[in-house]
Amino acid sequence: MILNDEDIAEVEPVTPFVRDLQTDEKISYGLGSFGYDIRIDDEFRIFTDVHSTEINPKEFNEDAFVQVKGESCLIPPNSFCLGKSLEKFDMPDDLFGLVVGKSTYARCGIIVNMTPIEPGWKGFLTIEISNTTPLPARIYANEGIAQVVFFRGERPITTYGDRDGKYQDQEGIEVAKI
């Protein structure tokens, strides 16, 4: 079953929890009718070729990134960056989250990708952002970046927390792990 605003407010799966959708001169965030719009924090990692390294998920090289902190982040053309959610998640064992990018950014060629949020998962989400345009693209810290749609089901036999998944309790921007 998909959760509406009343159901989401009862669970409060994120901290801080904003009960009303905030829209004043910002990219919206907070509780919506059938989802919760999350914000992106002010720390970013932008892929760079300065060190002429390759991207390999089995042997990830931290030199592939330049770290940026600020009110916004300018992503180079046809490039990619990582960020993290401002909100911390604490998913109940019977709740599943599906994360989708915001239309405001998608209409600018900025694509947000994240994996589903599994039952029992806790931590800050690492957010993957692609600039698909031939121009630099700006994203704004402390404003909306994606929406999480929550589904309630029966508790699975094994939750993400039960299996102590490799991204459990992440506090910062996490790169690929094997």
CA distances from 95 to 11, 20, 72, 124, 149 (A): 9, 21, 32, 16, 10
Mean pLDDT of the chain: 94
Instruction: Provide the Cα torsion 120, 37, 137, 81; round to 10°.
Output: -10
Instruction: Determine contact, residues 178/58, Cβ cutoff 8 Å.
Output: yes
For residues 5-20, average pLDDT:
98
The answer to pTM > 0.75 is yes
pLDDT in tens, 27-44: 999 999 999 999 999 999
Could you tell me the domains of the chain? 5-152 (2.70.40.10)
Q: Which of 128, 143, 154, 171 is catalytic?
A: 128
Measuring CA to CA, which residue among 119, 121, 95 is closest to residue 11? 95
If pLDDT is split at 50, 70 and 90, which confidence band does 55 have? confident
Alpha-carbon Rg of the chain, whole angstroms?
Answer: 16
71 catalytic, yes or no? no
* Token representation of residue 58: 């089995």
**Residue 158 phi, psi (nearest 5):** -130, 120
pLDDT of 48: 79
